[in-house]
A and B are shown apart, each in its own frame.
Chain A
Amino acid sequence: MALPYHVLKVCDGIVFAARGSNIHSFDSNFNPISVWKYPVKQQETNGEKAESETPAPVVEAEESPAPEGPPVKKRKVEDGEVVAVTEENKEESKEDTTEGQTETKTESQTQEVNRRSRRQKQKQKTEGGWAKNNKAVLEKPFVQGMYLTTDGRHLVAITGSDKTIWVFEHDGAGNLKQLSQRAMPKRPCALALTPDDKTILSADKFGDVFSLPLLFTPAEPTAAADVTTTASEVATPEPTPSAPATPAIPTPPTTDVAKAQSLSVKPQANELTVHTLRNLKALENQKRCLERQKAAKLAAALQASQFEHTLQLGHVSMLTSVAVAVHPSHPGRTYIITADRDEHIRVSRGIPQAHVIEGFLLGHDEFVSRVCIPEARRDVLISGGGDDDLFMWDWVSGKLLGKAPVLAEVKKALPSAEDAEKVTKVAVTRIFDVQQGAKTQIFVICERIPLLLIFTLTSTNTLQHTQTLSLLGNPLDVEYLKAESKLLVSIDPNTSSETQEEEASNGGVSSILALSFDDSESSWKVTIGGLKATEAAEEESSSLSPQDLQKLLYTTESLRKTNKDDE
């Protein structure tokens, strides 16, 4: 399968384009500059720091607010490579672990963790609801998002299944130097940077927003020592003073919100304090769980985060988008805006008062997947997701300014009535603003819809549809090359509808389209200067099956609530 460039980021004249797990850079004519490759063997890549930084076995609690695919279970093998354990080879792998273990402490702990995650898995299976395990997890984690500091000197990326945030130094010419990698406690879904470029906000799958310093120097490798300490502290009910995750709000005695692991393992009640049958059962359960908790703690110690990260706020719902906003009326105030799968958009104050919720932007009937505050109109927020319309808000007052139809425009633009009938819902994947002189243009793409919708945000706060452009395949991301006045749209070449003649005359299937604005016709047109899939092919094609690749690329529609389980 040809891998598409599924995430784009433009920094002046440089285009960063993520493809699978790697980040490519190009100049504005799409001449390749460099490739950052996801490290295969992290121990080699990172030298002595690898021990503390290797993504540890993933143990996700089953009560995820975001039902997703099956949890990726990984097993650490001796060379530090991460191998997924699938249902099929589970038994086999069990044997592997018992025979092939080296007698390091980490190894045996890892196994405990594995056993635990297996049990969880079984439980999940019996409770039902998880999709069949998929092989996609065998791939290296895909890049899920790329973000730039305002000065363009740092690029920050998230990769998926390893929950990692990567920070790169950018020399301004398209070369990236990896500065750090930090594996978060839960999978980050979206990031934002504070206006001073010093802090990353990471919004995760469990609904929490953590802040992390952009620049971070990993502590000297003390992983082994740390693990031992944690192990001995397991019996102590006191939180470890060294626990690095701190809630922004001072930590109450037993809190652990950030680590999601309380260090207290004594039963939290005794027979005298427990009266109801329900509580009694819970207590019994708890006692039985103590052993398992120990394993969890070890996993946490392994996995967690040997770096500073502070809990700023949280929803009880998967977060999909986060933005840091400054309203023109109060340039000194920053806000954090978070959107979730349960239709909410929350407006909180910025750090250090992120515990203050200023308001909510309510009205969506389906998940919200994207929010956009146009650069030139920072008083306005446009949101979209599983609803038929885009919503436009005066976000500081919480007032809905209006809506603009997405589904209706999509239906209008589809070639045949049949096609139009088949499309009954949309999932907005990108809302992107471009300032052209005095005009604020809003570009919108939806999952698996080969169209680019273009709106104009008027000075009277309406969102006017101005154009719909047919694309040759499914759009994955949108960016703007300001210097060239070109809009870039990355396309999934596997979905391309180009005929062979077209392909030949175009010089191959398009991977990244370049569009420019034709003043005479007042519309956007595909122009020369994009990137062809053939040019992009290189050595990288993927062993992923088409279905697995689709699962990795098209994740937005799955946010829609379907299996509303009850009672």
Chain B
Amino acid sequence: MSEPKNKRQKREDYRAALRANGVTELPRKKFYRQRAHANPFSDHSLIYPPTPEQMDWASLYPHYAVEEPIEQKTETTESEESTGQELSAPAIRKLTKQVEVADIGCGFGGLLIALAPVLPETLVLGLEIRVSVTQFVEDRIKALRVQNEEQKLYRNIAVLRANTMKFMPNFFNKGQLNKIFICFPDPHFKARKHKQRIVSTTLNSEYAYVLRPGGIVYTITDVPDLHEWMVGHFNAHPAFERVSVEEQEADPLVEIMRNETEEGKKVTRHNGQKHVALFRRLEDPQWPEDVSA
């Protein structure tokens, strides 16, 4: 990107200063802008654990870390060649509970922050592919934790830079989540770019993998065709069924999703329409052999 050096420098100075400051001040958005799209297919220098077990969750949710770090041995190489050469990996502190709610493409984090007090017993994670947007949310959460130290608020939310289209299984085990939010996803209008959409027949299988049966996918968009696309693809997927409108409207999180994401607020300001659809993860079907047996 061809932007004046000094501008970038300013942002970096600002962000560094903010962090050095003991983070009591809320970050300002203008210092975290970044181009609108990141190509989910390219090799970003992403950091992700090889397996969910190797994820250092304690650094994201320090207040939920168990006291004793668990000595982590690397997988024992059973080949005789390397017996006696096992190194123990840096100790990873486990959490007292697992992340159960994910906000995919969380943007500037409005939904996370609104969910924090509403789901006080639940760990909620925002996943965002853009670096400086992620940084913004991280600084925002840090500041909020400090500002609300006494009420112990915002300790149950965190953000992570990740490309969810490739690396969800690196973070979450099978059936670990019970809610996934997909709010105002990038529309990718061009047919040629539809493979970049965050909802597709093949990606829905991955959402089904990380969700436990009974878990819910929440979707919202202001683009009618994208709404239809998402409804079409989830309805067509054997692992999902659409949640009825009554049940949808009875879910308090739906109203929060409508009003609390940055994108949602923008749409409100423009008196736009918001299309909501929820889908329930069904049990896996029986194996064909078991059915015929």
Contacts and interface: CB of A to CB of B under 8 A. Distances in A.
Interface of A: 61, 63-65, 67, 206-208, 247, 249-257, 260-262, 264-265, 267-269, 273-276, 278-279, 282-283, 285-286, 289, 293, 296, 311, 313-317, 330, 332-333, 342-344, 346, 348-349, 352-353, 355-357, 359-360, 362-365, 389, 400-405, 408, 461-465, 561, 563-567
Given A269-B223, A274-B223, A408-B81, A63 B235 contact: no
A362 B45 CA distance: 19
A348 B204 CA distance: 13
Nearest to A279: B187
A464 B39 contact: no
24 contacts: A61-B195, A207-B202, A254-B232, A260-B191, A260-B192, A268-B189, A269-B187, A283-B189, A293-B192, A311-B201, A313-B205, A314-B200, A316-B165, A316-B166, A330-B287, A343-B50, A353-B287, A355-B205, A355-B239, A356-B285, A403-B82, A461-B78, A462-B78, A462-B80
B40 interface: yes
A249 B189 contact: no
A356 B284 contact: yes
Given A254-B228, A273-B273, A282-B187, A464 B80 contact: yes
A330 B76 CA distance: 28
Given A61-B195, A348-B205, 7 more contacts: A254-B228, A265-B191, A269-B225, A314-B202, A315-B202, A356-B239, A362-B170
Nearest to B165: A316
Contacts of B206: 357
Nearest to B198: A316
B36 interface: yes
Contacts of A261: 191-192
A249 B44 contact: no
> From DSSP, what is the main secondary structure of chain A's interface residues?
loop
A275 B195 contact: no
Contact of A285 (B189, B191, B228): B189
B63 interface: no
Lowest 7 CB-CB distances: which A-B pairs, in order?
A: A252-B232, A314-B202, A332-B289, A402-B78, A268-B225, A286-B189, A275-B270
A275 B267 contact: yes
Nearest to A340: B166
B148 interface: no
Which of B43, B52, B289: most chain A Cβ within 10 A?
Answer: B43
Given A275-B266, A357-B209, A465-B81, A567 B232 contact: no
Contact of A342 (B167, B237, B266): B167
Contacts of A355: 201, 204-205, 208, 237-239
B147 interface: no
B187 A254 contact: no
Interface string B42-73: 11110000111000000000000000000000
Nearest to B275: A273
A317 B189 CA distance: 21
Interface string B247-283: 0000000000000000100110110110000000000
Contact of B195 (A206, A252, A408): A206
Contacts of B36: 278
Interface residues of B, number: 79
Contacts of A269: 187, 189, 223-225
Contact of A63 (B195, B232, B233, B236): B195
Nearest to B263: A276
Nearest to A290: B190
A565 B75 contact: no
Nearest to B167: A342
Given A256-B194, A400-B75, A564 B267 contact: no
Contacts of A265: 191
Contacts of A206: 195
A405 B287 contact: no
B241 interface: no
B104 interface: no
Interface in B194-250: 194-196, 200-206, 208-209, 222-226, 228-229, 231-233, 235-239
B287 A333 contact: yes
Contacts of B225: 254, 264, 268-269
B10 interface: no
Contact of B50 (A289, A365, A565): A365
A249 B205 CA distance: 10
B151 to A, nearest CB: 34
Contacts of A315: 166, 202
Contact of A247 (B76, B201, B235, B273): B201
Contacts of B188: 282
Contacts of A349: 287
B169 A360 contact: yes
A63 B201 contact: no
A564 B239 contact: no
Contacts of B41: 63-65, 316
Interface in B142-156: none
A251 B236 contact: yes
B18 to A, nearest CB: 20
A405 B239 CA distance: 40
A256 B202 CA distance: 12
A247 B289 CA distance: 23
A167 B225 CA distance: 40
Which of B44, B192, B223, B236: most chain A Cβ within 10 A?
Answer: B192
Given A255-B201, A257-B201, A316-B166, A67 B42 contact: yes
A267 B266 contact: no
A362 B195 CA distance: 24
Contacts of A563: 43
A273 B41 CA distance: 28
A63 B193 contact: yes
B160 interface: no
A249 B174 CA distance: 21
A507 B285 CA distance: 61
B204 to A, nearest CB: 8
Contact of B45 (A264, A357, A359, A566): A566
B38 interface: yes
B4 to A, nearest CB: 16
Interface in B123-150: 130-132
Contacts of A346: 169
A405 B79 contact: yes
A265 B132 CA distance: 34
A210 to B, nearest CB: 11
A40 B284 CA distance: 49
Contacts of B44: 564-566
Interface string B156-198: 0000000001110110001000000000000111111111100
